[in-house]
């Protein structure tokens, strides 16, 4: 196949890898035959200098033509997390709910904790259900594509951990983007756990979400008012919408019952 140079969201140039399109489509739920066909179509249609955003839109259109709407929604996972809002609080709550599904108990969210030197605002304080060790969790949220979480965030997470060493046993940095190679080297050196997009390999944030179907509520493309209502009721994970009392929730949020049932139907299609 011909080599095509594309432009990533951060402005860097890269060689287009048709295998990435194919594997991402499969992880979203497309059957291997359809994924290979879509990847081949994309490769034939793109040209030098095309942006990853343009390619992303092309894949979404092809998925919609060949697969169910639910698969298109799953393909939008990264975008959906970036739709959780610029404040970041929703992301912290979302991360807390994910960690609870992986053997942690959330003790506090956005709490002030007195350190040896100063008071710190701790994004998440969690405890391992297995060994009862207490973890300081720093959440770094980006709502723009192409951003990397850099060394600065890893450094200040560790500095905060050191000042709170009498209250926590371990530290963790969680982010919705990729991390730089410097972050990985530094984190390995100071025993800081990193949970980010595509890292650790095959066990990153996106894989944790996909493996237990913990898709964010934003993957349903709710309206702004609907999203605000979901967040106010601590519904961050789409499948939690299946556990609500529909009548009561409709009365509380003023979201029509028909709309809630429609969203529940889409959730069921996404998590099958």
Q: Of 173 and 142, which is predicted with more confidence?
A: 173
Task: Tell which residue, 54, 151, 138, 60, has the closest CA to residue 92.
Answer: 138
pLDDT exceeds 90 at position 213: yes
Q: Which residue has the higher pLDDT, 57 or 28?
A: 57
Q: What are the residue boundaries of the structural domains of the chain, listed by start?
A: 5-75, 82-211, 217-271
Contact 146, 51 (CB under 8 A): no
> Where do the H-state alpha helices sit in 101-245?
151-163, 181-190, 205-211, 224-232
Instruction: Write the pLDDT tens digit of every residue in 222-268.
Output: 999 999 999 999 899 999 999 999 999 999 999 999 999 999 999 99
Instruction: Give the fold, CATH level 3, of 82-211.
Output: Trna Endonuclease; Chain: A, domain 1 (3.40.1350)
Tokens of 22: 């194919």
pLDDT tier for residue 124 given thresholds of 50, 70 and 90: very high
pLDDT exceeds cutoff 90 at 149: yes
| Nearest-angstrom CA–CA distance, 99 and 183 | 21
Which residue, chain included where needed, has tokens 């951990």? 161
């Amino acid at each position: 196949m011909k080599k095509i140079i594309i432009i990533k969201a951060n402005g860097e140039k890269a060689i287009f890898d048709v295998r990435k399109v194919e594997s991402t489509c499969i992880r979203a739920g497309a059957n291997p035959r359809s994924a290979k066909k879509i990847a081949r179509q994309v490769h034939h249609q793109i040209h030098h200098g095309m942006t990853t955003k343009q390619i992303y839109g092309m894949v979404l259109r092809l998925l919609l033509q060949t697969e169910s709407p639910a698969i298109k929604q799953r393909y939008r996972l990264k975008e959906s997390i970036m739709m959780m809002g610029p404040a970041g609080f929703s992301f912290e709550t979302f991360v807390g709910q994910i960690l609870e599904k992986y053997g942690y108990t959330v003790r506090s969210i956005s709490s002030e904790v007195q350190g040896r030197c100063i008071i710190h605002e701790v994004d998440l304080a969690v405890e391992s259900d297995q060994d009862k060790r207490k973890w300081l969790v720093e959440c770094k949220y980006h709502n723009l594509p192409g951003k990397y979480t850099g060394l600065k965030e890893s450094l200040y997470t560790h500095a905060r951990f050191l000042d709170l060493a009498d209250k926590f046993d371990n530290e963790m940095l969680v982010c919705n983007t990729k991390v730089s190679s410097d972050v990985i080297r530094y984190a390995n050196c100071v025993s800081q756990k990193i949970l980010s997009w595509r890292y650790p390999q095959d066990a990153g944030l996106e894989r944790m979400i996909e493996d237990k179907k913990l898709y964010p509520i934003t993957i349903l493309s709710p309206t702004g008012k609907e999203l605000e209502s979901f967040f106010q009721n601590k519904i961050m994970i789409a499948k939690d919408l299946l556990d609500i009392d529909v009548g009561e929730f409709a009365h509380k949020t003023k979201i029509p019952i028909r709309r809630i049932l429609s969203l529940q139907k889409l959730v069921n299609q996404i998590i099958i």
